[in-house]
Amino acid sequence: MASSAEAVRTVTQIVTSVVASATPKATGPAVPPQGGVLENVNPVDYDAKNPIILFIVQAGIIIIFCRLLQWPLNKIRQPRVIAEVIGGILLGPSVMGRIPGFKDAIFPAVGMDNLNLVANIGLTLFLFIVGLEVDLRIALHNWKVALNVGIAGMALPFGLGAAIAVGLYNQFKDEPGTEPISFGIFMLFIGVAMAITAFPVLCRILTELKLLDTPVGMIVLSAGVGNDVVGWILLALCVALVNAGSGLSALWILLTCVGYTLFLFYAVRPAFIWCLRRTRALQDGPSQGIIAFTILLCLASAFFTGIIGVHAIFGAFMAGMICPKENGFNIKVAEKIEDLIGALFLPLYFTLSGLNTNIGLLDSGITWGYVIGVCIVAFAGKFIGATAAARFSGMLWRECFAIGSLMSCKGLVELIVLNIGLQARILSTRTFTIFVVMALVTTFATSPLTIYFYPPWYQKKVAAFRRGEIDWDGKPLDGSDSVSDGHYEKLEADKVKRFTTYLRLDSMPNLLAFASLFGGEAEKLAAKVHPSLRQNSETPEPNAPPKRPVEAHGLRLLNLTDRGSSVMQVYETESYTAHDPVVNTFRTFGRLHNLAVSGETLVVPESSFAETLSTRAADSDLLLLPWSETGGMSEQAVIEDKGTKNKIASSSYLAFVNETLNQSTVTTAVLINKNFGGPKNKSTKDRSKLRRTVSSVSISSHPDAEVTAPLTDKSHHIFFPFFGGDDDRTALRLVLQLAESTEVTATIVHFDVPEGFLAPTEDRKDEISSPTKSHATVTTSSANPSDDAAFFAALRASLPSPLATRVVFETVTSTDPVGDVLARASIEVGQNPKNGGDLVVLGRNVRVKGLNGAVEGRSDEIRSHGHAGDGAKSVLGGLAERVWGAKMGASVLVVGAGRRM
């Protein structure tokens, strides 16, 4: 029994020990909590197995911070890189890093590796896009002057940089975080940092200041291309020397790099282009597979230059340079990848530059002395060298100063150079901070100095002087002044001989129909005879010299965005002008309708559309603005909504028209279309039913159905109410010129109004908010009513007989002029809906009290739409707003007199 009890006790002890060993200890869970913040996990705690959470926090803070800083800096025309670096400085140890726990929580040392990795991937792809931007063909234009500017703009700052490098090397060579390198390598790096120019930022500044097509822009762009390429080569040399363990290794690195460059250009590039042609990627644009192949080519090139001891970004840069520019392939590739790079990767990289910048290290007089010295050397070397070279090439002093200011721009390229120096331990954190301050100062000063030395008024003066229109004092060389009075024969000098128009895709149908009225009647030529049937003895009779046609110049404006591909489009404006379908449609239609037509495509910021149009139209007699059919600045396909039904309520387009009218120095006409050129294809039938329908859009659906036939009546009827003043006089001259077309009839009514009706409104600014926040004062002069009546009577009496059968002059006395205009217009226009479209022409008269005051108690008054309604009145005039709101079935043309300066 004892033995059995002992056995039971032994078994019990063994089982108990096994169960105890298998039972979890009460020291805590073996698996880390998976519930995140629901289990009280701090989301900014770095987890090596799940680093994405901290990365999202870091990226979100950086992007939001940089975008907030970019908004005010954009107002003073500063590039985005300024905001990104300043954002990094504020987030770094200089400002927010001083908050206890901020750096350890948001930017801990263990979490910076992932941020650096993503930022450097973005940098590699960005240098690929920079390579896509570099077009060596640009350097061929004005190459002699550009070569002089480029050489002097690099040699002098390089030499001055080598001089100041002596002091920097002796003062800061033993600081923590640096490698014991020779003075020669340090001097080479400092010289490159002083000599380099930021080509991508320079392109954007030139575009925003509208200098690309000026002599200054052409020379700076050509010199900048060569400067950029030479700068990257010198930097690659510097990095190779730093990475090499001996002089022999450095030689092998350089020889390998040169051989690889030749291999890329003479072996890889032809094969790549053959592949693109074979897949039709050059003709039809890159597919997703081609984009993937191109990115692999970029990464492979970066990999090779990285493993041979040169930084990976040089391989990406060269991969971008070998991509063909044919048919805009480089632009299409950049469009596919640039948004993610510009919105996420680059802010991370340049913010890291700011995070590595510690303004607190500039804590002594000698350090600040070097800060000032580096800034002076960097700016003065570029400015003096480029200015002297430009002056030696025969350019004007102001042009030379502008070239010097632009070439001193450092921008993001300088920051890339500095970061490479910091990573290679050439620079300490203190010297890195000194050079970051220099990059910010020189980049910040570029735009203001260029505007100061080369303002728009000086550009216009130089252009007119070089065309031989004025002498250097600004006086016209021909000495001719146009004088006109009320006699029709003496109005020839005031006729529109050249007009400029804004070409919009959505407004082309009505714009072409209206422009054709300036062509007049084409000369009837004798019937053609086949060349083989002509008699050898026959000689054609000499024709009378043809009448000089009206010149029409069309401007197609493309929006310049903050994307790199948009800047690339600027280089291709000649190609866009030659092949743009809108410009070519206008060119062909104009020539068929007896107009001497030219056109061009420009890539400018949307905020500069008004300034561009007013500047380009300065040598014309008329600027023609079509109203938007889309309800805004966009030209995309129209989907009818509230914005398109009430066209003049579009605040964005009102702001654009208002700015253009206020800046224009020539007569400006705004065409608000309503079926001008013929009615639209618009079916009113209910298409919701499941049955076969017949429409004018699909004429083959029923061959016997009535369809929209060609216009048999191409006539237009014009109604013009004349009150007086500069705007109305200008509008009257324009109506009479349009009426010279045999398909135009016109009714011109002079309204004899009560005394005080034409008095100007109170002295105030007629303003409307615009994206650029620019407000201008509308200034018009009001003529004496008796002089206006005499002018109208003289024209009426001197009207030539061909016009007298199509133009009717009337004078009526009115006590309610606005109401009488609406009543008479409803009778005059819209009576023949199958003609080419009728037109109501109005003087702008925005400061005539009687035409813009409140009128109550009329059922046909347009209802106010808040600020938009008020804006329409202040931009187009109260009468135009009332006429358009009456829905008379006719287009409206609002004419503002020119104010030449």
Q: Cβ(751)–Cβ(814) under 8 Å?
A: yes
865, part of any domain: no
Q: What is the pLDDT of residue 301?
A: 94
State the amino acid at position 245 in one-letter form: G
pLDDT of residue 546: 59
Residue 373: its pLDDT value, please? Answer: 92
CA–CA distances in Å: residue 53 to residues 41, 105, 237, 344: 12, 13, 39, 16
Residue 153, classified by CB atoms within 10 Å of its CB into exposed (0-12), middle (13-18) or buried (19+), is buried
pLDDT band, residue 462 (cuts 50/70/90): confident
* Whole-number Cα distances in Å, 587 to 385, 553, 580, 600, 704: 45, 9, 11, 10, 37
Q: Which residues contact 625 (CB under 8 A, 6 or more apart)?
A: 501, 502, 613, 657, 660, 668, 669, 670, 671
Question: Helices 247-263 and 215-243: crossing angle, nearest 10°?
Answer: 130
* 215 assigned to some structural domain: yes
Q: Any idea which of 132-146, 277-291, 719-733 has the lowest mean pLDDT?
A: 132-146
CB-CB neighbours of 598 under 10 Å: 16
pLDDT digits (tens, 9 = 90+) for 704-756: 555 555 666 778 899 999 988 888 888 998 998 898 888 889 999 998 887 77
Please indicate, yes or no, if residue 411 is contained in any of the structural domains. yes
DSSP 468-534: TSB-TTS-BSS-------S-GGGGGGGS-SEEEEE--GGGHHHHHHHHGGGG-PPPPPPPP--GGGS
With residue 843 as reference, give the H or E element that holds it: strand 839-843
Confidence bin at 900 (pLDDT 50/70/90): low
- pTM for this one? 0.73
**Interval 64-95: pLDDT, tens:** 988 888 888 877 777 777 888 888 888 888 88
CA distance 81 to 78: 8
Proportion of the chain above pLDDT 70, given as a percent: 77
Is residue 292 assigned to a domain? yes
Q: And the tokens for 164?
A: 């100041």
User: How far apart are the C-alpha atoms of 843 and 853, rounded to whole Å?
Assistant: 16
DSSP 108: -
Give the CA-trace dihedral at 753, 754, 759, 765, to 10 degrees. -70
Instruction: Taking residues 611-621, report their average pLDDT.
Output: 87
The answer to whether residue 219 sits within a structural domain is yes
Tell me, yes or no, whether 382 lies in a domain.
yes
Residue 483 pLDDT more than 70?
Answer: no
The tokens for 154 are 């690099």
What pLDDT does residue 592 have?
85
Q: Please identify which residue in the block is written with the tokens 């954002």.
A: 87
Tell me phi and psi for residue 894, to 5 degrees. -105, 125
The confidence score (pLDDT) of residue 156 equals: 92
Give dist(CA 361, CA 175) in Å, integer: 12
Exposed / middle / buried, residue 889 (Cβ in 10 Å: 0-12, 13-18, 19+): middle
Run of H or E residues at 187? helix 183-195
633 burial via Cβ count (<10 Å: 0-12, 13-18, 19+): middle
The domain tally of the chain equals 1
Residues 382-391, mean pLDDT to the nearest whole number:
91
pLDDT at 778: 41
**What is the distance between the alpha carbons of residues 190 and 376, in angstroms, rounded to a whole number?**
14
pLDDT value of position 854: 46
Q: For the chain, what is the mean pLDDT?
A: 79
Q: Is 738 exposed, middle or buried (0-12, 13-18, 19+ CB in 10 A)?
A: buried
In this model, does residue 271 exceed pLDDT 90?
A: yes
pLDDT above 80 for 679? no
* Strands laid side by side in the 744-752 sheet: 596-604, 551-559, 498-502, 622-626, 667-672, 891-896, 839-843, 716-722, 744-752, 807-813
H helices within 771-816, ranges in order?
785-797, 801-804
Is pLDDT of 109 > 60?
A: yes
**pLDDT the model gives residue 6:** 66
- The beta strand positions in 674-817, using DSSP E, are 716-722, 744-752, 807-813
327: left (phi over 0), alpha (psi -120 to 50) or beta: left
Q: Is residue 255 part of a domain?
A: yes
Task: Say if residue 855's pLDDT is above 60.
Answer: no
The 10s digit of each residue's pLDDT in 552-588 is: 999 999 888 777 777 777 777 777 778 888 899 999 8
CB 602 within 8 A of CB 566: no
Domain extent for 179 = 2-457
DSSP codes, 886-898? T--SSEEEEEE--
Using CA atoms, how far apart are residues 626 and 190, in angstroms rounded to an integer?
Answer: 55
683 pLDDT exceeds 60?
no
Query: Which residue has better confidence, 299 or 250?
Result: 299
Confidence class for position 144, pLDDT limits 50, 70, 90 = confident
Non-local CB neighbours of 437 within 8 Å, separated by 6+ positions: 359, 362, 371, 374, 375
Q: How confident is the model at residue 899 (pLDDT cuts 50, 70, 90)?
A: low
Q: Do residues 661 and 494 make contact, with C-beta atoms less than 8 angstroms apart?
A: no
Q: Is 320 helix (H, G, I), strand (E, B) or coil?
A: helix
Cα 138 from Cα 199, distance rounded (Å): 12
**Which of 221-230, 318-327, 437-446, 845-854 is predicted with the least confidence, judged by mean pLDDT?**
845-854
Predicted confidence band of residue 247 (pLDDT cuts 50, 70, 90)? low
The answer to the question of residue 702 being in a domain is: no
CATH number of the domain within which 266 lies: 1.20.1530.20
